[in-house]
């Protein structure tokens, strides 16, 4: 996610859940859609967020990852 996407003025501030867009367009993603998806997953994992949902963006070649930002828990 770019800094511009993170600081978008029309984006409401995330509370517990955070929606993150990940492009799966190979050209836009820099050559590999799998690498772009893995980078987005790694970004959330570095912050100890739990991935709770993934949905395809119907308007583009991408997905929306939904993160629980309250912290990672197992089980």
Q: In sequence order, what DSSP letters do the residues of 38-59 get, joined into one string? A: HHHHHHHHHTTPEEEEEEEETT
Cα(68)–Cα(16) distance, integer angstroms: 6
pTM to 2 decimals?
0.70
Per-residue tens of pLDDT for the chain, all 75 residues? 444 444 555 666 768 899 999 988 767 656 788 888 998 999 999 999 999 999 999 998 899 999 999 865 555
Q: What is the pLDDT of residue 44?
A: 92
- E strand intervals along the chain: 17-23, 50-57, 62-68
Q: What is the pLDDT of residue 3?
A: 43
Q: How many Å is the Cα radius of gyration of the chain? A: 13
Q: What is the pLDDT of residue 75?
A: 55
């Amino acid at each position: 996610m770019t800094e511009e996407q993170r600081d978008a003025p029309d984006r409401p501030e995330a509370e517990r859940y955070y929606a993150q867009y990940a492009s799966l367009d190979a050209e836009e993603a820099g050559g590999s859609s799998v690498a772009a998806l893995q980078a987005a997953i790694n970004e959330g994992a570095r912050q100890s967020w739990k991935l709770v949902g993934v949905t395809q963006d119907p308007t583009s070649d991408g997905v929306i990852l939904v993160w629980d930002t309250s912290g990672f828990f197992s089980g």
